Structures are given as structure tokens and as C-alpha cells.
Amino acid sequence: MKFWPFFVTLLTLFSRPCAADVTGLPIPRFVSLRSNQINLRTGPGMRYPVEWVYMKSDLPVEITAEFENWRRIKDWDGKEGWVHQHMLSGRRTIRLNEDALLLRAPAKGALPVAKAEAGVIGKLEMCPDHVNFCKVDLQGFEGWLPKKILWGVYPDEIYE
């Protein structure tokens, strides 16, 4: 029974509610990766092994839990792990789930600005409440895309 106190400590650490007990910000929420090389760890601390390394900044990720200075994140592919809070930015970005036309206005049938391919990363500018479109900036091309094809924004989210 040497491991009993250790097990109780672990159980206490990970059975705490995940809801906004560190920052007071809502969980889950979307953020983006701050730099070009970010280690995704199996647990909240430097002693945990690196499971994956992200090699591109601005990728959108979803924070699903907080523990001290660590955030558990999930990416568009479903991969989850822990990163230090300094590796994340509050700047909102999106990833296209499928090929799409970037439109001049938030309406079906609007004139296209550009064609964008699945996997493109862009800056989220706004998602008004009266339409199911979001205004985005895709590498300097601004326009509107249907919210349902974007990873990095919730279906019912209003972002201004």
C-alpha cells in the first residue's frame, strides 16, 4: 500500500472540476498557438513526456481544462494534451474543414472573393448573431464563410 497516498493525491488533482477555476474564463473556449514550435505534453507539467510537437503558429485549438499555468487543448483532429499558457494566444483563428468560396457578403449566392482549400488557417474577424456566416481574413483576402465549415468557432457563438 505504498502507492495509496500517491494515488489519493493524483485523484484529488484530476477530480477537481474543470470549469474555469484558474482564470475565470469559460471552458471550453477557442484560442490559437502563439509560436512555431509548441510541445504537447501528456500531463500538466514539464516532467510529462512530449507526445506531439506543433510546428506552426496561429493554429486554432480549444482549451478543455486548466491546471495552474497549464491548459489542456484539443486540435481540429481530436488530438489532446497539455501546453503551458504562454504558448497560447487569445487571438482567434479558424481552420477550414472543406474547400469553399470566400464571399463578399454573408449570404448564399454572394459574389466570391477567392477560393479557399480545406486546411487553410485564417484570422476570425466576426460572427454576427443575425447570420450563420463569419467574416474571416485568409492571408489578406477578407470575406465571409459559412460558420458550419469552420473549426475554431462554436455553432451558436457570436463573436464581434
- Judged against a pLDDT cut of 60, whether residue 148 lies above it is answered with yes
Is there a domain that residue 11 lies in? no
pLDDT in tens, 4-55: 444 434 444 444 444 445 789 999 999 999 999 999 999 999 999 999 999 9
Tell whether 25 and 64 lie within a shared domain: yes
pLDDT of 141: 96
How far apart CA 82 and CA 70 sit, in angstroms, is: 6
Is there a domain that residue 41 lies in? yes
Q: Which of these three, 91, 121, 142, is where a domain ends?
A: 91
Per-residue 3-state assignment (H helix, E strand, C coil) for 44-79:
CCCCCCEEEEECCCCCEEEEEEEECCEEEEECCCCC
| pTM: predicted TM-score of the whole model, two decimal places | 0.84
Q: How many domains does the chain have?
A: 2
pLDDT of 21: 57
pLDDT in tens, 74-88: 999 999 999 999 999
Alpha helix locations (H) across the chain? 4-14
pLDDT in tens, 92-137: 999 999 999 999 999 989 999 999 999 999 999 999 988 899 999 9
How far apart CA 46 and CA 143 sit, in angstroms, is: 41
